[in-house]
A and B are shown apart, each in its own frame.
Chain A
C-alpha cells in the first residue's frame, strides 16, 4: 500500500471508532464525568479540607491531575480492549480488515487511535469539571507537558488494552484486568498522595508501577513539582510504549485469537 492508502485505511479505522464513541456517548463519555464529579465532591470538598496540604498545594489542587489521569487510563484501556474484542468475537467483523491489505502494524495503530482519542477527550472533560469544582483556581505550570503526558498515558493504556483484547476469550477476560490490575495500580501509583508520605518499602513498590511515572509527569505539568525528574518519566514511558507495540505486533501478526 502507498503511504496515502495506508493513511486512508488508518483514517477509516479511526473514523469508525470516533463515530461509535459519539453515538454511544452515554456509555463512553458520561461515566467518567459522573465518577470524577463524585470524587471531587467527596475527596476534594468534604475530606480535602481535613487533609490540608500535599506537596505545598491544597489537596484539591493536588488531586486534580490524578483524577484526570484515572479517567484517561480507564477510558483508553477499555476502549481498545473492548473494540478489539467485540470485532473478533461479535460477528467477526475483524475479518473485514484481515482480508484487506492493511498490514498488522497499521491495524494496531487503528485500534489504538480510538482509545487515545477517547482517553484524551474524557480527560479534557474531567479537567473542565475540576476547573468547575476548584473555582478556576487550577494551577497550570506547563500546558505542553500536560498535553504530552495526557497523550502518552492514553497511548500506553490503549496499547495495553489492545494486548488484553487480543488475549481475551470471553467478555470477562476484558473486565478482569481493569478491576483487579488497573484500579489497584492507579490507586497505588501516587495518584492520591505524594510518595514522600509513604514508608521506604512502599516507595520501592511504587517505582515499578508505570502509573507513578505518568502521574509525575502529569502533575509536573500542573504544579511544576514532581517526585522524580521529568526525563526519568519520559524514558520509562517511551520504553513501555515500544515494548507494548512490539508485543501487539507480534501477537497480531501471528494472528493469536484471530486466525486458526
Chain B
C-alpha cells in the first residue's frame, strides 16, 4: 500500500501564482522519502494540500488509500505534520500544546499526558515542558513541533524543513531520532535544503521545480545521475546529490 498517492495535483493560488502544475507522486508505506526543490518550488503547497491546510485546484490525494476529500477524517488520523512555520501559541506550555493536539484527535488526557511527557523527554524537552513555549530556542521549537506531530501516533509523518535553524549536533540527533522512527515502520516525507541530510536519510527522492516533479526515484538512481562533470563549479564542491540537484534545477 502507498502511504501517499498524488495524482495530477494542481494548485493555483488566488493571486494567480501556479504553485503546482500537475504533480503525481507515490510514497510506499515504510519509505523515507525526500522531497527536494528550490525555494518556491511548491513543496509546502503540496504538503499543505495533503494535510488539509490548503485547498487544491484539481487532482486527487490519498493517504493510505483514504481520499482526502471523501474520507478526510480517516486520512488525517493517520497523518502527522511538522509544518515549515512555527504554528503554536507561544503563551502555552509545550505539555499543553502536545496534550491539546492529542485532544483534537479524540485522545483523552489520561492517555495523552503520559504520552506527551514521553515524547517531550525523547526530544530533549523534558525540563521545558511546563515553561511558556515562547522561551524555547528555535531548535527547541522545532522539536516541540515534532513531539506534537507524533502524539496521535501517525503512520505517516510529514516534515517540512524540520532542521531549519537547528545546530549541527542537534540536527544529527534529530536524524537519529527520525531514522529510529522510520526503522519502526513509520513512513516519512521530508523536505530539506540540506541535501547531505537527504542523502543520509532517504530511500527515495523526488526533486520538484516550478510546480513540477523533474526527478523521482531511489536515492541510488538519482545519485547515479552524478557524472563527475560540472563539479566544483564556482570553486565550490558539494555532495553528489547536491550537484545532481543543482544541475537539474539550474535555470536554462
Contacts and interface: CB of A to CB of B under 8 A. Distances in A.
Interface string A1-24: 110111011011101100000000
Given A99-B52, A101-B72, A1 B106 contact: yes
Contacts of A12: 100, 103-104
Interface residues of A, number: 29
A196 interface: no
Contacts of A260: 13-14, 48, 54-55
A255 B52 CA distance: 10
A104 to B, nearest CB: 10
Contacts of A1: 73, 106
A206 to B, nearest CB: 41
Nearest to A110: B104
A103 B87 contact: no
Contacts of A200: none
Contacts of A9: 103-106
A5 B55 contact: no
A4 B86 contact: no
A8 B107 contact: yes
A11 B152 CA distance: 17
A194 interface: no
Given A91-B90, A92-B85, A8 B106 contact: yes
Contacts of B13: 260
Contacts of A2: 106
Nearest to A259: B55
A100 interface: yes
A160 B62 CA distance: 35
- Contact residue range for chain B? 20 to 34
Contacts of A255: 55
B105 A16 contact: no
Interface of B: 13-14, 48, 51-55, 72-74, 76-77, 79, 81, 83, 85-90, 96-97, 100-101, 103-108, 148, 152
Contact of B87 (A95, A100, A101): A95
A102 interface: yes
A101 B88 contact: no
A8 B111 CA distance: 12
A160 to B, nearest CB: 24
A102 B107 CA distance: 12
Contact of A102 (B48, B53, B74, B104): B104
A172 interface: no
A2 B74 CA distance: 11
B52 A98 contact: yes
B89 A93 contact: yes
B97 to A, nearest CB: 8
A232 interface: no
A2 B76 CA distance: 14
B52 A93 contact: no
B53 A91 contact: no
